[in-house]
Amino acid sequence: MTQSLYLEHDGKVLLVDLEGVGPQKAVMGRVGEISLRLPTESEVDSMGIKWSERRTNRIKFGNEFHEVVYAFPEIEWPEHWTWKDKLISDGCVDPLARECVYRSMHRVVSKVILQNHRQEVVMAKVKRGFFTGHWTLPGGFVDYAEHPLEGAMREVLEELGVAVEISEDDVVQIAERIFTSEGIQFLSFTYKCDAVNDLSFSPKPDEIEEVRWFSIEEALARAASLFDVGALRLLE
């Protein structure tokens, strides 16, 4: 197992050459032999850079595991480090470093607590995705160039076949969590919306198996997502 150190500060990442000399800068769109990589802890220590650990990720490429310590460098803004946005398109940068940038980016999801006059909430049993066969609040991934609020309304329409109106003041919870040692990070926005009238649902056939109203207690007992559990508990 190899071990590396991922240091990021204000969008800049520390890279070294194959001899451990750095900092080095990436070049967008470059093609060639691998010549830049993440440093090791000893290489960073030799540069006199102090750092504080945030977490350690385990990344598997083929049959090989890599341990990467994600850490914050205790320095001023690193002018001579490389922008992470340039790093990912440089073919001369070790794929492990590019994968680490990928894992440092949030996956944004939006969910909706749709509640009726009996204080029941809508949940859907999903056919595909992370929670196949389980009950979740309606919602999903936010698209590129889409506000979480827009994503929430779009997901309810797509999954349940009903149009809802939600405002930014209706946010119940904003939560962040990393669920596994792989280090994929999720940022979840959950909104609350009151159902004014009785609704007739038209579930998306290839995605939703069933839609039902549940009491808060019943919803909590069935919820598969920890984000859903946290948001529902705020309504108790």
CATH classification of the domain holding 122: 3.90.79.10
The answer to whether residues 145 and 220 belong to one domain is: yes
Whole-number pLDDT of residue 2: 81
**Phi, psi of 134, rounded to the nearest 5 degrees:** -120, 165
Token pair in block for residue 91: 């073919």
Q: How confident is the model at residue 200 (pLDDT cuts 50, 70, 90)?
A: confident
Lowest mean pLDDT among 56-60, 126-130, 175-179, 188-192: 126-130
Go through the chain and tell me how many residues it has.
236
Q: How confident is the model at residue 233 (pLDDT cuts 50, 70, 90)?
A: very high
The answer to whether residues 53 and 120 belong to one domain is: no
The answer to whether residues 99 and 130 belong to one domain is: no
Largest CA distance in the chain: 67
Per-residue pLDDT of 177-193, as tens digits, reads 998 888 899 999 999 99
Predicted structure pTM score: 0.86
Domain final residue pick, 103, 123, 158: 103
Element (H, E) at 216: helix 216-222
The number of distinct structural domains making up the chain is: 2
The answer to whether residues 111 and 203 belong to one domain is: yes
The answer to whether residues 211 and 143 belong to one domain is: yes
- Of 53, 73, 204, 59, nearest to 138 (Cα)? 204
The answer to whether residues 78 and 122 belong to one domain is: no
The answer to whether residues 141 and 163 belong to one domain is: yes
Domain final residue pick, 75, 103, 131: 103
Whole-number pLDDT of residue 128: 85
Whole-number pLDDT of residue 234: 93
What letter would DSSP give residue 71?
E
The answer to whether residues 83 and 137 belong to one domain is: no
Look at the alpha carbons of 94, 103, 87, 48 in this order and tell me if their dihedral is positive or negative. negative
Q: How confident is the model at residue 109 (pLDDT cuts 50, 70, 90)?
A: very high
| Count of other CB atoms within 10 angstroms of residue 16 | 20
The answer to whether residues 82 and 116 belong to one domain is: no
Q: What is the CA radius of gyration of the chain?
A: 22
Structural domain that includes position 76: 2-103
- The C-alpha atoms of residue 166 and residue 114 are separated, in whole angstroms, by 10
Domain final residue pick, 57, 86, 103: 103
The answer to whether residues 34 and 72 belong to one domain is: yes
The answer to whether residues 80 and 160 touch, using CB atoms and an 8 Å cutoff, is: no
Whole-number pLDDT of residue 52: 96
N- to C-terminal Cα distance for the chain? 46
The answer to whether residues 78 and 169 belong to one domain is: no
Q: Is the pLDDT higher at 49 or at 62?
A: 49
The answer to whether residues 75 and 140 belong to one domain is: no
